[in-house]
Amino acid sequence: MRALAASDISGYSPNDSALALSGINHRVRAIESLSTALSRGLHTMEEGNAMLATCYTLVFQSALISDGFPEYMSFIRGCMVVAWQMGVKQLKFVFEVLNDEQLAKMGPYLQGAPGIDPDLTNGAIGSLEACRPLVVRDAEKAFYECMLEIAQAAQISSWQGRFSSSTSLLVIR
């Protein structure tokens, strides 16, 4: 959360490099902690939800970083992987899929997110499409379609990418 807060505040104070540096330092710590936790495996509801919260936070922070689209896609994937692991282990989620009313309330606050460089989204789509021949199993197909839809929606805006219909798969009941 510190990483996201520092990145958000630094957007309002672009001349304060200390805030940007703080955001990156906290981001690196969060990524290292998440990596360590993922390597140990997901065993409890609390661990899963903590990992999911970290991934969500890193996704949102990626949207604030000018060249953060590759990381944005990585952490969307991370959200999906953690959620699938939790679903397989039938662990309870503290995060719920947002309904239309909640999205409408959040819309004005989230629509001001910075745009994503079209070269990055086009590159992501091209890379995903190049991987298509490798996708053979049903689970791989579902995951591939989600990632492709998110990348295509992100061409419109980071808001669309985060709330594309595929992101509803992030929470498995």
Same domain, 119 and 79: no
The model's pLDDT over 49-97, given as tens digits with 9 standing for 90+, comes to 999 999 988 888 887 777 778 888 888 888 888 888 888 898 888 877 6
Would 94 be classed as within a structural domain?
Answer: no
Indicate whether 100 belongs to any domain: no
79 and 118 share one domain = no
Per-residue pLDDT tens digits for 105-159:
766 766 666 667 788 888 889 999 999 999 999 888 888 888 888 888 877 765 5
Task: Kindly state whether residues 73 and 24 are assigned to the same domain.
Answer: yes
Inside any domain, residue 102: no
Pair 15, 54 in one domain:
yes
> Based on the domain organization, do 84 and 15 belong to the same domain?
yes
Examine the domain organization and report whether 59 and 140 are in the same domain: no
pTM as predicted: 0.60
Residues 81 and 18 in one domain: yes
**pLDDT for 170:** 42
How far apart (Å, rounded) are the C-alpha atoms in residues 10 and 20?
A: 6
Establish if 24 belongs to a structural domain: yes
Q: What is the mean pLDDT of residues 28-44?
A: 90
Q: pLDDT tens digit string along 2-14?
A: 555 555 555 556 6
Note down the domain range covering 161: 113-167
Number of domains in the chain: 2
Task: With a cut of 80, say whether residue 36 has pLDDT above it.
Answer: yes
Q: Are residues 140 and 83 in the same domain?
A: no
Model pLDDT, residue 17: 76
64/141 same-domain check:
no
45 within a domain of the structure (yes/no): yes
Residue of 23 and 107 predicted with greater confidence: 23
Tokens representing 51?
Answer: 């990992």
| Residues 50 and 131 occupy one common structural domain | no
Boundary-marking domain end, from 22, 55, 89: 89
- The residue from 89, 124, 143 where one domain ends is 89
